[in-house]
Amino acid sequence: MPIVDSISGRVVKKYKKDELIEKAKEMRAYNMIAITAAGSGHPGGSLSIMDMASALYLNVAVHDPNNPGWEDRDRIFWSAGHKAPALYSALGVAGYFPVEKMMTLRKFGSPFEGHPNSKKVKGVEFSSGSLGHGLGVAVGSALNARLEGKNYRSFCIMGDGEQDEGSVWEAVMCAAHYKLDNLVAIIDHNKLQIDGMTEEVMCLSSLAEKYKSFCWNVIEIDGHNMEEILESFEAAKNFKGHPTVIIADTIKGKGVSYAEHAVGYHGIAPKDGRIGEESLEIALQDIGYDIDEREVDRFFKIAEDYQRKVDEKIQKKLPSFSKEYWWNKSENMKAEMNATRNGFGKALEEIGEDTSLVAHGADITSSIRMDHFYKNNPEREKRFFSVGVAEANMIQVASGFAKEGKISFAGSFGVFATGRAWEQIRTTVCYNNFNVKIAGAHGGLLVGADGATHQALEEIAVTNYLPNMTVTVPCDAVETYKITKAVAYKDGPALIRYAREATACVCTEETPFKLGEANVVRFRGEKDNFIDAFEWSLSSEYENEKEDLSLIACGPMVPEAMRAAWILKEEYGIETRVLDMHTVKPLDRKGVMRAAEETGAVITVEEHQIGGFGNIVAGEINTSKNYNSPLVMDMVGVKDKFGESGAPWELMIEYELVAEFIAKKAKKLFERKKEA
């Protein structure tokens, strides 16, 4: 029994095998159109799971699109949240919303985020994106059905690379222990993950034998054979006494010739857009779904019209001044843009020649530039150890090397490297004072369209209070390069938090740098190049110029603070001392106190939950300042909210983290100072 009327109990529609095959084609088409319109997304896994999704939503699961919260519905948990376009396609075709709405995929403000958000899309059971979470939630849901005497079943969709996560196997044991025969796990076994073949990244061996050893009922099928798919779901329904796992042998990128078996299409849109050898046009031909070109045009117009409104909203929100100050919009003050992660890669490649260094990856090795350790030096591959999608284990393995005298670099998305593995970092790394250097990559909102699950906004706070930990937040690619080399040979644990998106390069090789000491940055007047308009000095060498206020910033917010200093001078004649606090711990206490005492007005600036960095600075000031002189203080940061999908700079404007907002807040603080 599939789609039903939850009030009458009447079956509304149950698609037959041949219909499901056609619906899977239709869903693949919508999937590819939406990803192409977005310009980003995850076609590979979305295409491989589509036949299973078609069967599940249109034939197997009991649910009512007109009553998404119906308590007797079957629950479908997408643990593999990056397959979100497949989920949206299935929900749209099932009738939860007009499928054309998903054409706003990954755009700012759209409910159809890069990873599913249960608060925004009807039919999404839980917000996901961090791998290894879904099966445990499904276990709890299935246990609740038993507790409440309900007949609903819980389904959980996972990837094969996801089986690296230890949390999956904790849930596997729990489900077996409670004999949850109302639970069905589905593994999309497409044999590819970001870093390559699953067996090469982290050998899975026989998943079937593993699950059998945990007392699960195991069904292995061709995940693209609709007859086998339907039979497997029926067999799972009839099996009693143990949970069932359906291991679906699939092809990543299924149905699109250039995407099939292609690692590169894990997370990118068609390279040629709508027309070309690797394009939407070819994808639709390969899929074989007959869709009129005018309908495709209509879908794209929906996306374009939506983006036009977003552009208008963002532009309207951005404060305006007497002239244009945005990056590279004026005739002068030009800036080179480069991703901070490139600085990390460059440094790692250089220091990698030291045989005392080892490196570890967690399936996004190239994206965070960890692959530069061995990319051009293949002889170093013996010192690189992939742990698969298993961040907690990565930290422990890195610690084992550090215990034996090695310097261990371990990295992943910041939210996983420091979030999922926090307790391992605390107890194993910091308590033992091991030489583990953590690359907390893609920090902050600048990750963009991947959304909240991948936007780390808490790492400064969760790592700063760990004893023995050095916390660094470099401002650009050059400073990331310098910091990476510096912390490599500083004894003890260290975090390097760096961004993904290209940001302004404001440092040079000659820019002064000392780990643990802030730089003072002063605007000296407009120049052809942004970088030449500022003078840098170590805080200990800076002579007080009696500025009107101080902006104390870290990470990508340093260039924004510099741009704010430019605005403040040009618009209001306000002189600003900018502190580049690239080392958050140990904090440059003297530099902070001088800024507070000498300017009397301080704003902290962070691309992070507000106060994570700001309260560290405020705490130092409040416990050390001589209050014979007045001080006014404020903070800029994310205001106790999760991120969302959108273009990186759209999000920076929406969350009021760019120079224009900083300048407005600084002007108000300056007025408060004058009143005081």
Assign 3-class secondary structure to 65-115: CCCCCCCCCCEEEECCHHHHHHHHHHHHHHCCCCHHHHHHCCCCCCCCCCC
Eight-class DSSP state of 530? G
Do 41 and 106 contact (CB within 8 A), yes or no? yes
Q: Tokens standing for 386?
A: 């992939």
Task: Count CB-CB contacts under 10 A for residue 407.
Answer: 22
Residues 405, 407, 408: CA angle, nearest 5 degrees? 115
Do 653 and 316 contact (CB within 8 A), yes or no? no
Measuring CA to CA, which residue among 532, 577, 563, 527 is closest to residue 652? 563
Give every CB contact of residue 41 below 8 A, 6+ residues apart in sequence. Answer: 34, 35, 85, 105, 106, 114, 267, 268, 269, 449
Within 367-514, strands assigned E span 384-386, 407-413, 436-441, 470-472, 494-497, 502-504
pLDDT of residue 496: 98
Q: Which backbone phi and psi does 128 adopt, to 5 degrees?
A: -140, 175
Task: Count CB-CB contacts under 10 A for residue 398.
Answer: 32
pTM for the predicted model, two decimal places: 0.96
Alpha carbons 274 and 322: distance in angstroms, whole number: 40
pLDDT of residue 635: 98
Do 296 and 467 contact (CB within 8 A), yes or no? no
Alpha carbons 322 and 325: distance in angstroms, whole number: 9
Alpha carbons 422 and 203: distance in angstroms, whole number: 25
Alpha carbons 568 and 664: distance in angstroms, whole number: 9
Could you give the residue range(s) of every CATH 3.40.50.970 domain in the chain? Answer: 3-287, 338-504
Give every CB contact of residue 560 below 8 A, 6+ residues apart in sequence. Answer: 553, 605, 657, 658, 659, 662
* Euclidean distance between the first and the last CA atom of the chain, given in angstroms as a whole number: 71
Give every CB contact of residue 600 below 8 A, 6+ residues apart in sequence. Answer: 549, 629, 630, 631, 632, 673, 676
pLDDT of residue 1: 64
Give every CB contact of residue 510 below 8 A, 6+ residues apart in sequence. Answer: none
Q: Tokens standing for 79?
A: 């643990």
pLDDT of residue 2: 87
Do 669 and 636 contact (CB within 8 A), yes or no? no
Q: Which residues pair with 3 in a beta bridge?
A: 13, 63
The yes or no reply on domain 508-675 and CATH 3.40.50.920 is yes
Please report, as a single letter, which amino acid is at residue 574. Answer: I
Q: Which backbone phi and psi does 303 adopt, to 5 degrees?
A: -65, -45
Q: Which CATH superfamily is domain 3-287 in?
A: Thiamin diphosphate (ThDP)-binding fold, Pyr/PP domains (3.40.50.970)
Alpha carbons 227 and 39: distance in angstroms, whole number: 34
How far is residue 338 CA from its own chain's centroid?
19
- The total number of residues shown for the chain amounts to 676
Segments in 288-380 forming alpha helices (H): 293-317, 340-351
pLDDT of residue 629: 79
Within 175-291, strands assigned E span 183-189, 192-193, 196-197, 217-222, 244-249
Q: Tokens standing for 51?
A: 């036949």
Within 342-487, strands assigned E span 357-361, 384-386, 407-413, 436-441, 470-472
Domain 338-504: state its class.
Answer: alpha beta
Alpha carbons 88 and 50: distance in angstroms, whole number: 11
- 3-state SS class at 217: strand
Please report, as a single letter, which amino acid is at residue 638. Answer: V
Peptide bond into 65 cis (omega under 30): no
Taking 50 as the pLDDT cut, the residues of the chain under it are: none
Residue indicated by tokens 């939210």: 415
